[in-house]
Amino acid sequence: MFLIASTSRPIASLTAWRAGRHAQRKIRRLPPITISVRSDAIRPWTAPNPTLQAEIWNEQGQSVGRARYAISPLNDKVYVYELKIKRVHRRRGYGTAFLAYLANTNALSITPIHETHEETAFWNAARRLRAAGVTVTRDLRVGEMDAEAQRWQHLQPASELPKYVSVDEVLH
């Protein structure tokens, strides 16, 4: 006699369910971190919102890494310019813990700026955490930043927008 197990879930949703359980388990196992944040003094690409510099500390009070990020002026994305974990602290969950901090603090999707080859595996793993509340979109290349900034140009005062001179103004 053969016993055939069945499930009421289709295969695709079962796979998604397993991925979601894995993502939630991974988030629960992250090391505790403390973040100290300060604003960057340089006028950022995301103006009027500032670029923030974060120092990441582990439970023992050691600095394990740093990050630079900004929230879009439309308050719909967090752009991560840099996320550097010190070599001796890598592969221990500190980078993922920082992304979970951003996701929990801001409740926005996270967009890396110019993901390098060295960072690809990390960002691909982070994209699999969507079921746990960490949404990471595809990276934004430096060449795409001006087009992305056009989404919030209407928010900047006219005095801050570049002034273009027409041909008529030059001739008269």
Identify the pLDDT of residue 3: 38
Question: Could you tell me the residue ranges of all domains in the chain?
Answer: 30-145
Is the confidence at residue 58, as pLDDT, over 90? yes
pLDDT band at 114 (very low <50, low <70, confident <90, very high): very high
Over 90: is that where the pLDDT of 8 sits?
no
- Top mean-pLDDT range of 36-45, 110-119, 152-161: 110-119
Question: For residue range 102-111, what is the model confidence (pLDDT) as tens digits?
Answer: 999 999 999 9
pLDDT, one tens digit per residue, over 136-169 is: 999 999 899 999 999 988 876 655 545 444 444 4
pLDDT value of position 47: 86
pLDDT class for 65, splitting at 50, 70, 90?
very high
DSSP the chain: -------SS-HHHHHHHHHHHHHHHHHHTPPP-EEEEEE-SSPPTTTTSPEEEEEEE-TTS-EEEEEEEEE-TTSSEEEEEEEEE-GGGTTSSHHHHHHHHHHHHH-SEEEEBS--GGGHHHHHHHHTTGGGT--B---B-GGGHHHHHGGGGGGS-GGGSPP---HHHHH-
- Average pLDDT over all residues of the chain: 83
End-to-end CA distance of the chain: 97
The domain made up of 30-145 has a fold known as Aminopeptidase (3.40.630)
pLDDT score recorded for residue 131: 85
Task: Quote the pLDDT of residue 13.
Answer: 53
Residue 92 has pLDDT above 70, yes or no: yes
Instruction: Indicate whether 49 pLDDT > 70.
Output: yes
